[in-house]
Structure 1
Amino acid sequence: MADDDEDDRLLAREALAQSLALAAELRFVNDGVELMQYLRREPPFADAAATPRPGVILLDLNMPRMDGREALQALKADPELRRIPVVVMSTSQADEDIVRSYDLGAASFITKPVTFEGLVEVMRGFGTYWTEVVGLPADE
Structure 2
Amino acid sequence: MSGQDGPDPVDILLVEDNPGDVRLTREAFKDGSIANNLHVVEDGVDALEFCHQRGDYVDAPRPAIILLDLNLPRKNGEEVLEEIRNDSNLQTIPVIVLTSSDAHDDVVRSYELCANAYLRKPVDPDGFIDAIRSLEEFWLSVVRLP
SS at 2:40 equivalent: coil
- The one-letter amino acid paired with 1:39 is C
Cα displacement (A) at 1:22: 2.5
For residues 26 and 114 of structure 2, what CA distance do their matches in structure 1 show?
25
Structure (1/2) with the larger strand percentage: 2
Q: State the match for 1:44 in structure 2.
A: 56
* Contact 2:99/2:120, CA 8 A, preserved across alignment: yes
* Coordinate RMSD, CA, aligned: 0.9
Question: 1:27-59 CA distances to partner (integer Å, 9 max, x unpaired)?
Answer: 101111001000101011112xxx111111000
From 23, 42, 48, the equivalent of 2:35 is 23
* Contact 1:54/1:84, CA 8 A, preserved across alignment: yes
- The one-letter amino acid paired with 1:104 is L
Displaced runs of 4 or more, over 4 A: none
Question: 1:82-136 CA distances to partner (integer Å, 9 max, x unpaired)?
Answer: 0001000000001000000000010000000111110121111111111111111
- Report whether the alignment pairs 1:98 with 2:117: no
- The one-letter amino acid paired with 2:95 is V
- The one-letter amino acid paired with 1:87 is I
* Contact 1:76/1:105, CA 8 A, preserved across alignment: yes
SS at 1:26 equivalent: strand
* Contact 2:34/2:140, CA 8 A, preserved across alignment: no
* Contact 2:45/2:74, CA 8 A, preserved across alignment: yes
TM-score of the pair, normalised by structure 1: 0.92
Q: State the match for 1:88 in structure 2.
A: 97
Q: How does 1:1-140 map to 2 (within 5 A)?
A: 1-18=14-31, 20-47=32-59, 51-137=60-146
- The one-letter amino acid paired with 1:41 is Q
For residues 30 and 82 of structure 1, what CA distance do their matches in structure 2 show?
21
* Contact 1:15/1:116, CA 8 A, preserved across alignment: no
* Contact 1:2/1:35, CA 8 A, preserved across alignment: yes
Residue segments in structure 2 that go unaligned for 5+ positions in a row: 1-13
For residues 3 and 25 of structure 1, what CA distance do their matches in structure 2 show?
16
* Contact 1:87/1:110, CA 8 A, preserved across alignment: yes
Residue segments in structure 1 that go unaligned for 5+ positions in a row: none
